[in-house]
Structure 1
Amino acid sequence: MWIGTLYALVAGLMWGLVFVGPLLVPEYPAALQSVGRYLAFGLIALPLAWLDRNALRRLSRADWLEALKLAAVGNLLYYVCLASAIQRAGAPLPTMIIGTLPVVIAIAANLRNARRDGRLPWARLAPSLLMIVAGIACVNHAEWVALRAQAHADLARYAIGALLAFCAMACWTWYPLRNADWLRHHPGRNPRTWATAQGVATLPLALIGYALLWLFMGVSGSHFAMPFGPRPWIFIALMAAIGLLASWLGTTCWNEASQRLPTAIAGQLIVFETLAALSYAFVLRGKLPNGQTMLGVALLVAGVIWAAKVKPVPLEYVQAEHL
């Protein structure tokens, strides 16, 4: 349990980096940042795939098709929505919307995977879920008050950003459930190999996306300097760093956690990503969070610690209790 939690923590620290990337290169379209990040991930995965070639050969056609689906929804589509949301609403609001994932995934997994993982008793799970929801509400309220205080705040732009963040949340509700399904059904496979397989599957999608985006910009008369924009070396370095740390290392650590933890518990530990992203965002702002935000963070951490202590009960035992 605790080794799986540690892997989830490292994954969260790595994934938190993706929330500040769009703020560092705000002039770059979100679609370009998405295909750029996953093009880097795919290229990084190629030498790793060569080292893991024997294990990758054992993957069936159905396995590669699943990796392609996970790459399309959990990688490319998710990051297009998230980067667009951050560019429109700033980092904290989308971060906290994505921060609802521990609650959404825990409930979905408890309903969906009880027969496989055991049922987390709702009465024991409820306090942790309530603490997480309360923590998210505190941080959201603090950001909303700060937004309303701005003289020229564009509320419509923020609303669009929030909607896009909800779309990203939907993508990443689907991704960990499907990813955990594959890992739990293939306990003998190395999680690192599965992360590399997703990187290899991402590469052709990212290449096609990059080419189509370049073509669209040319046809539409865009003045954006393709292929790498006005700050090419900064963009390339940022995409390479996010591709290596967030995409490959983060996915590898998450796969290790997913093999060790019930999906409902693993889903709640995505809160580490929220905490890391908030920390990075406030460092980038150059100021400390206020008291209400700190209270929200404390509630999130308390909810995670509480949830980690809840043990799943076999479904047959739960059913017997109700007879």
Structure 2
Amino acid sequence: MVVANRQIIQGTLFAIVATFFWAFNFIAPYVTGPYSIEDMVLARYVIAGVMGLIFLLFYRRQLRGMSLGQRLSGMALGVNGYLLYSICIAGSVICSGPALIAAFVGLVPLLQTVIGNLQSRRLRWKSIVIPMILIIAGLALLNMRALAAGPAAGHPLSGLAFALGAVASWLSFSVINQKAVAKLAPATTEVWTCLMMIGAGIGALVLLPLAVGAGKALVREPDLLNAPVLLFYAWALIIAFSSSVLGAGAWNAATRRLPMVLSGQFVALESLFATVLGYAFLGQWPGLSEIIGMALVVLGAARSLHIILASKDIDVPSPALLEEIAHEYDR
């Protein structure tokens, strides 16, 4: 039980780090300058793919220990959980404004927790009702301004389709990734992250001709060395490194250590950190509703952690795997 609890606490710390760096995705509207969100999505994932290839050079020995199927699965998950998810988020905002996607993405922690408990039957449903209510209420308060704005004029059905696609993309990614990571050797966690980055980068390159055909500003820019373009690429690099390297790497480490019923609720912390970063870029303080929302999300996540640690039915990896994970963590 002590060893299992240590794994849960380590996984919790990794999940907090992951959601913090994932929140860097939400600073895109503040840093795109004269260019579009579509430009930022493609640029950051192409950069992430290049970084994945570079980092993979340092893990060639670990890569050789993975099967072709595992390599392809890792890259496919990058396309699904990274690129497709971001495209669906951007598409929903463009078509119907931020309110719809805020409501749907707010359901992700709830749905992921439900799916996790359905798979493992780890906890009694009544024990996680209160934490989920706290988190849902907190997310509602964090997104109150977007929800109050109502749907924007545009293409509401397309916005709904993109919002549903975002939820389906993330949930399928979470379920498949959880199972895949559990079958990997602990030393290949970094390789798995690199493969997902490469997959997302390849997907972005495939979509690049479509962006050219759609007349996106960045890909038609005649002078790629002017200040706005260089600043744009600098921010794309920062977002790619923060989200795809630090965030994804920490999440894969968390996934190895946490049950899905708990990791699902920690996803809600992403909205908390995104709110904080958004107000930081605006140079403002969050309002009372956002502060209360943050407190509720933290309280709900903390309550979930307490319930898991107090549970007597915690699945523990094999002793050999625990020793290898602990050795990896100590390094």
Q: TM-score, normalised by structure 2?
A: 0.81
Alpha-carbon offset, residue 250 of structure 1? 0.6
Percent of matched pairs sharing the same residue:
25
Offset from partner CA, 1:113-170 (integer Å, 9 cap, x none) = 21xxx5122111111011111212233444444x37xxxxx73349565663443222
Aligned residue number for residue 320 of structure 1: none
Q: In structure 2, what is the Cα distance between the partners aligned to 1:121 and 1:79?
A: 34
Q: In structure 2, what is the Cα distance between the partners aligned to 1:101 and 1:198?
A: 21
Aligned residue number for residue 45 of structure 2: 38
Aligned residue number for residue 131 of structure 1: 134
Give the 3 Å change call, closer, same or farther, for CA 223–270 of structure 1 in structure 2. closer
Q: In structure 1, what is the Cα distance between the partners aligned to 2:186 and 2:19?
A: 25
Secondary structure of the residue aligned to 2:307 is: coil
Offset from partner CA, 1:177-213 (integer Å, 9 cap, x none) = 1111111122444321210121223332222222342
Q: TM-score, normalised by structure 1?
A: 0.83
Conservation of the 8 A alpha-carbon contact between 2:46 and 2:201: yes
Aligned-CA RMSD value: 2.7
* Amino acid in structure 1 at the alignment position of 2:306: K
Q: In structure 2, what is the Cα distance between the partners aligned to 1:294 and 1:223?
A: 37
Alpha-carbon offset, residue 28 of structure 1? 3.1
* Amino acid in structure 1 at the alignment position of 2:268: V
Aligned residue number for residue 323 of structure 2: none
Q: In structure 1, what is the Cα distance between the partners aligned to 2:194 and 2:40?
A: 21
Q: In structure 2, what is the Cα distance between the partners aligned to 1:223 and 1:133?
A: 37
Conservation of the 8 A alpha-carbon contact between 1:32 and 1:210: no
Conservation of the 8 A alpha-carbon contact between 1:91 and 1:281: no
* Amino acid in structure 1 at the alignment position of 2:198: V
Alignment of 1:284-323 (within 5 A): 284-311=281-308, 314=313
Alignment of 1:141-160 (within 5 A): 141-145=144-148, 147=149, 155-157=152-154
Structure 1: unaligned runs, 5 residues or longer:
149-153, 317-323
Alpha-carbon offset, residue 42 of structure 1? 0.8
Secondary structure of the residue aligned to 1:257 is: helix
Give the 3 Å change call, closer, same or farther, for CA 143–38 of structure 1 in structure 2. closer
Aligned residue number for residue 164 of structure 1: 162
1:62 is the counterpart of 2:87 = no
* Amino acid in structure 1 at the alignment position of 2:24: L
Aligned residues: 301
Conservation of the 8 A alpha-carbon contact between 2:36 and 2:217: no
Q: In structure 2, what is the Cα distance between the partners aligned to 1:225 and 1:179?
A: 33
1:281 is the counterpart of 2:272 = no
Aligned residue number for residue 183 of structure 1: 181
Give the 3 Å change call, closer, same or farther, for CA 10–258 of structure 1 in structure 2. same
* Amino acid in structure 2 at the alignment position of 1:42: G
Alpha-carbon offset, residue 71 of structure 1? 1.4
Conservation of the 8 A alpha-carbon contact between 1:96 and 1:139: no
Conservation of the 8 A alpha-carbon contact between 1:40 and 1:243: yes
Q: In structure 1, what is the Cα distance between the partners aligned to 2:267 and 2:300?
A: 12
Q: In structure 2, what is the Cα distance between the partners aligned to 1:90 and 1:235?
A: 23
Aligned residue number for residue 20 of structure 1: 27
1:201 is the counterpart of 2:199 = yes
